[in-house]
Amino acid sequence: MNYYAIAFYRFTPIADPHAEVKKQKAFCADRDITSRIYISKDGINGQMSASKQATAEYIEWMHSRAEFRDVHFKLHPYHEHVFPRKCIKVRPKLVAIDEVIDLENQAEHVSPKQWREMMEQGGHILL
């Protein structure tokens, strides 16, 4: 398998989503990447397919940038591109909800072991 299907997102303030679209397009332009990447003032949501080399380059580039350093990429080997073309654009919202999202109010990350222990203790409500 020569390609990866890739999924990622990150809620993080993006002051100028249009400028971020330009950066993403410039990086992806000459690489073996097809995509659906949406950017808003609240962050980035991406699904893409890329050659193994382009995947490594994209992840390295994203992780070199402070606002995307913590992005977790989900990779799935595939035999061809998943998307027909590159689509990178600004969207008013990353998630279709009518509530205002406070990006400063985020839960603390817990490991799978910590999560399991918390669930075994009880008293937690999952939404």
Q: What pLDDT digit, counting tens, does each position of 113-127 carry?
A: 988 888 888 776 665
What pLDDT shows up at residue 53? 97
Class of domain 3-94: alpha beta
Residue 32 has pLDDT above 80, yes or no: yes
Phi/psi of residue 120, nearest 5 degrees = -70, -30
Lowest mean pLDDT among 22-31, 53-62, 70-79, 103-112: 103-112
The two three-digit tokens of residue 20, written as one number? 């971020």
Residue 77 has pLDDT above 70, yes or no: yes
Cβ(48)–Cβ(33) below 8 Å: yes
What pLDDT shows up at residue 110? 80
